[in-house]
Structure 1
Amino acid sequence: MRRLARLFSALTLLALLAAVAVLIWPRPQPALPPSPPPITALIGPVDHILVEKAARRMTVFRDGTALKTYRIALGFAPQGDKQRQGDGRTPEGRFRIDRRNDSSAYHLSLGLDYPQPTHITRARAGGYSPGGDIFIHGQPNVLFGKAPLRHDWTAGCIAVSNPEIEELWSAVALGTTVEIRP
């Protein structure tokens, strides 16, 4: 009987040691998923941007091929072409990216060459300012880390989420054409 008790104790001890070994023994770690490709690899360089205001859609192109489409927010009064400073409208027409601002009040900004001579002439004839500082930008920096604003909230700019403007920032160069349709 003692022999059986010792055998049982030895087997119990072995089982306990095996259980402890399983818990503390280093196990191979599962392979991490591959890192996502750099943002520029996702969409590559962009040579044209099409903004369709009524659809709240912006599509980026390279050599006539659509690369990606983004949902956008516009000025707080988006119907119609921008006429003057403070009207809350997003201008319509053909523009170019003429500046980049990584220190704006919004997360990264790509500036449009608005106002153009026709806008300035029209505004002078009417005795008002055409406005300016129209950008494609991310969310207000004061909201960093919060859900993006999706309603029309800008003063006339084109807004996307912060990850989207980071993607665009890396793929859009100075001189890129921007077409804004009603």
Structure 2
Amino acid sequence: MYLVKCFILLAIFSSTLAQASISQLANSKVDLVVVNKSESSMSIYHEGQKIKTYQIAMGDAPQGHKLKEGDQRTPQGRYILDYKKSDSAFYKSIHISYPNEEDRLRANALGVSPGGMIMIHGQNPNSSLTPEQAQQYNWTNGCIAVTNKEMDELWRVIEEGTPIEIWP
């Protein structure tokens, strides 16, 4: 019983600490977003300090770098979060600057279209799953999905021009 109480207190403390960190960013914004595809996670940073980590859903084929349009992969590399879209089909979204020049050259060499419109976005409005259940599956077309509540949080702390690194 003691261990259960300790675990509950630790969970409450961790949640409160994360919320406090996010609240402290009200006057200054995130300066780096890092996605770790193999861990299905996305972390936000301010001045080298990790502020919070989110569980993410990605494309149906998450392993490997996106090579072409329709391959269901999430790209890998360093990009910029270049604009926000408040009227996204998936709640709200923040666009990732994929494809970059290297991606275009690779796709051109393969004779395919690199694709585009890769976003960090909220939930699928047509899903019958709860937000927590949906995050257990890779269901996007190569985008990075979080819950709508998390998207609201990210919307407040990420400005256009923020770099994003997407790791394997």
Which residue in 2 is equivalent to 1:175?
A: 161
C-alpha deviations, 1:101-129, integer Å up to 9, x for none?
01111010000100001111111121110
Aligned partners of 2:138, 2:68: CA distance in 1, in Å? 18
Residues 42, 138 of structure 1: CA spacing in aligned structure 2 closer, same or farther, 3 A cutoff? farther
- After TM superposition, give the deviation of residue 42 of structure 1 in Å: 5.5
Q: Secondary structure at the match of 2:42?
A: strand
User: Identity of aligned pairs, percent?
Assistant: 42
Runs (4+) of structure 1 moved beyond 6 Å? none
2:49 maps to amino acid: T
**1:82–1:92: 8 Å Cα contact kept in structure 2?**
yes
Does residue 59 of the first structure (1) align with residue 43 of the second (2)?
yes
> RMSD value over aligned CA atoms?
1.9
Q: Contact (CA 8 Å) 1:40, 1:170: kept in 2 or not?
A: no
Shift of 1:67: 0.4
Alignment coverage as a number of residue pairs? 145
Matching residue of 2:23: 41
Q: Is residue 141 of structure 1 aligned with residue 125 of structure 2?
A: yes
Q: Which has the larger radius of gyration?
A: 1
Unaligned runs of 5+ in 2: 1-18
Q: Are residues 94 and 83 of structure 1, via their aligned partners in 2, closer, same or farther at CA, if it must alter by over 3 Å? A: same
Alignment-derived partner of residue 152 in structure 2: 166
- Tell me if 1:154 matches 2:167: no
In the alignment, structure 1 segments of 5+ residues that lack a partner are 1-36
2:154 is matched by which residue type in structure 1? Answer: L
Q: CA deviation at 1:142?
A: 3.2
